[in-house]
Amino acid sequence: MPGSARTRWLAIAPGRVNLIGEHTDYNGLPVFPIAIDRDVRIDFTIADDPVVRLDSPLARFDPFAFQLKRPIEAASQGHWSNYVRAAARGLLEHGVELRRGIVGTVTGDVPIASGLSSSSALVVASALALLKANGATLPRLELAALMARAERFVGLEGGGMDQAACLHGVAGHALRIDFEPLRVTPVAVPEGWRWVVASSLVRAEKSGGAREAYNERARQCREALAGLADRSTDGMPAYRDLMAADDLDRVLRRARRTLAPVLFRRFRHVVTEGRRVAQAEVAVGDGDVRRFGHLMVQSHESLRDDYEVSTGKLDAIVEVALDAGAAGARLTGAGFGGCAVALCDDTTVGPVMEALVARFYQPRLRGPPVGRVVFAVEPSPGARVEEA
Ligand code: NG1
């Protein structure tokens, strides 16, 4: 039996910052995130009966309980229990027997609705806690793929980046994540590369307003592929097949001729971003901070102009960070608000953070920012369960 009823456990799941490769995962193309040193934690004991009972010290997250029996119904849209329900539902549908539940408290320091994957961290922490409670294990890749499918329960047609990054984080390493099938390759980040995360002060609630805009992009990407398939006899191509073509620019020229302008722009973002991920991985290997930074800037411009998911505030953060000496900066996560990430070194990390406070936050907040709206993050280990 997994621990006595009184043993207290801690399921710890990190957030993530995507360094490059945005809106590529659900198109089957690679991404390049890090797991970060901020996490979601479930402090729990194992229940003898199949029930999940969780609370939070934050008043806006009201306590909830549900039975671990199929079907697990969704709570109202936007309710935080849906992420825990999603994990339980995914495990049950996968055939994992959940005879025991968990009782505990959720805490964490991943900013919420900020493109840092607090939601997937909660899903993964919940899954690991339930597996621990039932003495069950799943291979990490299998669990990551399962939780990516499970999180769609909240209505976002998301890819699999977040759950994979959360489960596979390695200290000091970025993660090249490939899809179909899911694979994770840790890539050492050169000493002295520093990452600054800056909030745009606008929440991007993927269980709420940003959901439709996100899902619309996913639909447009599929439509673009279908549009290109019309003239071929080979059926529907995959983005990966198109990327494998010797001459990507030729593919782009054909797409420009064939697709409606908005679909062409979505398409151009996806394939050029796919190419940037490959180039960024080489830049990390070469320790070429300028090259990596340049690719981040190109990524941001493409997300702003072609994918149309940036905001004036995210653009302003990128501009201030670059002006203050960052090697590169871009929005991170889905966009529509949330955070930006800047690549710095030991000499620029302080000035970039100071410039953001002076030129972005103070004018907008009419005073010094309260709480941590701009902070450095480090590539960190993945999710785990420890004895509390
Ligand atoms: P964020 O913004 O962290 O919720 C979302 C998706 C990712 C990926 C990015 C855009 C989920 C849970 N997350 O991330 O899979 O598509 O947008 O690159 O669906």
Examine residue 382 and state whether it is found in any structural domain, yes or no.
no
Of 383, 12, 380, the closest CA to residue 197 belongs to 380
Q: Is 368's pLDDT higher than 60? A: yes
Residue range of the domain that includes 96: 9-23+34-167
Which residue type is seen at 19? L
Same domain, 210 and 159: no
**Total number of domains in the chain:** 2
Examine residue 325 and state whether it is found in any structural domain, yes or no.
yes
What is the number of other CB atoms lying within 10 angstroms of the CB of residue 219? 12
Query: What's the rounded Cα separation, in Å, for the pair 8 and 104?
Result: 9
Phi–psi pair at 108, nearest 5 degrees: 165, 165
Which residues, other chains included, contact 84 with Cβ-Cβ below 8 Å and sequence gap of 6+?
52, 54, 64, 122, 123, 126
Same domain, 159 and 202: no
* CATH number where 303 lies: 3.30.70.890
Closest residue CA from atom 15 of ligand 1:
159
Closest residue CA from atom 13 of ligand 1:
158
- Write down the pLDDT at residue 367: 82
Instruction: Report how far ligand 1's centroid is from the alpha carbon of 159 (Å).
Output: 7
Which residue type is seen at 350? G
Instruction: Report how far ligand 1's centroid is from the alpha carbon of 23 (Å).
Output: 7
* CATH number where 79 lies: 3.30.230.10
Same domain, 91 and 226: no
Ligand 1 atom showing the smallest separation from residue 25 Cα: 16
Per DSSP, the three-state class of 174 is strand
Mean pLDDT of the residues in the chain: 94
- Residue 113's pLDDT band (cuts 50, 70, 90): confident
Same domain, 224 and 145: no
Instruction: Report how far ligand 1's centroid is from the alpha carbon of 160 (Å).
Output: 8
Same domain, 254 and 306: yes
Same domain, 349 and 209: yes
Q: Which of 32, 206, 306 to mutate to test the pocket of ligand 1 (most atoms within 8 A of CB)?
A: 206
Closest residue CA from atom 17 of ligand 1:
334
Ligand 1 atom showing the smallest separation from residue 204 Cα: 2
Give the distance, in angstroms, between the CA of residue 185 and the centroid of all CA atoms in the same chain: 16
Ligand 1 atom showing the smallest separation from residue 23 Cα: 18
Ligand 1 atom showing the smallest separation from residue 148 Cα: 12
Instruction: Report how far ligand 1's centroid is from the alpha carbon of 138 (Å).
Output: 23
Query: What's the rounded Cα separation, in Å, for the pair 72 and 82?
Result: 10
User: Which is more confidently placed, 243 or 143?
Assistant: 143
Active site residues: 162
Convert the pLDDT of each residue in 271-282 to its tens digit: 999 999 999 999
Same domain, 136 and 274: no
Convert the pLDDT of each residue in 57-87 to its tens digit: 999 999 999 999 989 999 998 899 999 999 9
Query: What's the rounded Cα separation, in Å, for the pair 211 and 82?
Result: 15
Ligand 1 atom showing the smallest separation from residue 18 Cα: 18
Examine residue 151 and state whether it is found in any structural domain, yes or no.
yes
Instruction: Report how far ligand 1's centroid is from the alpha carbon of 81 (Å).
Output: 19
Closest residue CA from atom 6 of ligand 1:
158
Convert the pLDDT of each residue in 220-269 to its tens digit: 999 999 998 855 556 778 999 888 877 889 999 999 999 999 999 999 99
Query: What's the rounded Cα separation, in Å, for the pair 319 and 292?
Result: 17
Phi–psi pair at 352, nearest 5 degrees: -65, -45
For β-strands 32-47 and 9-20, DSSP reports them as: antiparallel
Same domain, 84 and 204: no
Examine residue 55 and state whether it is found in any structural domain, yes or no.
yes
Closest residue CA from atom 12 of ligand 1:
158
Per DSSP, the three-state class of 356 is helix
Ligand 1 atom showing the smallest separation from residue 24 Cα: 18
- Write down the pLDDT at residue 230: 56
Q: Taking the CA atoms of the chain, what radius of gyration do you get in angstroms?
A: 21
Check the CA dihedral 292-297-298-303 and report its sign. Answer: positive
Examine residue 384 and state whether it is found in any structural domain, yes or no.
no
Same domain, 141 and 220: no
CA distances from 320 to 9, 270, 280, 310, 360 (A): 43, 26, 22, 15, 7
Q: Is 195's pLDDT higher than 70? A: yes
- Write down the pLDDT at residue 349: 98
Which residue type is seen at 183? R
Same domain, 232 and 319: yes
- Write down the pLDDT at residue 245: 78
The secondary structure of residue 11, as a DSSP letter, is E
Instruction: Report how far ligand 1's centroid is from the alpha carbon of 162 (Å).
Output: 7
Same domain, 112 and 204: no
The secondary structure of residue 31, as a DSSP letter, is B
Q: Which of 36, 162, 219, 311 to mutate to test the pocket of ligand 1 (most atoms within 8 A of CB)?
A: 162
Same domain, 267 and 350: yes
Examine residue 383 and state whether it is found in any structural domain, yes or no.
no
- Write down the pLDDT at residue 208: 65
Closest residue CA from atom 11 of ligand 1:
158
Ligand 1 site, CB within 6 A: 18, 22-23, 25-26, 115, 117, 119-120, 151, 156, 158-159, 161-162, 206, 333-334, 338
**pTM of the entire predicted model:** 0.95
Examine residue 131 and state whether it is found in any structural domain, yes or no.
yes
Q: Examine residue 71 and say whether the peptide bond preceding it is cis (omega within 30 degrees of 0).
A: yes
Instruction: Report how far ligand 1's centroid is from the alpha carbon of 383 (Å).
Output: 18
Convert the pLDDT of each residue in 283-293 to its tens digit: 999 999 999 99
What is the number of other CB atoms lying within 10 angstroms of the CB of residue 306? 18
Examine residue 137 and state whether it is found in any structural domain, yes or no.
yes
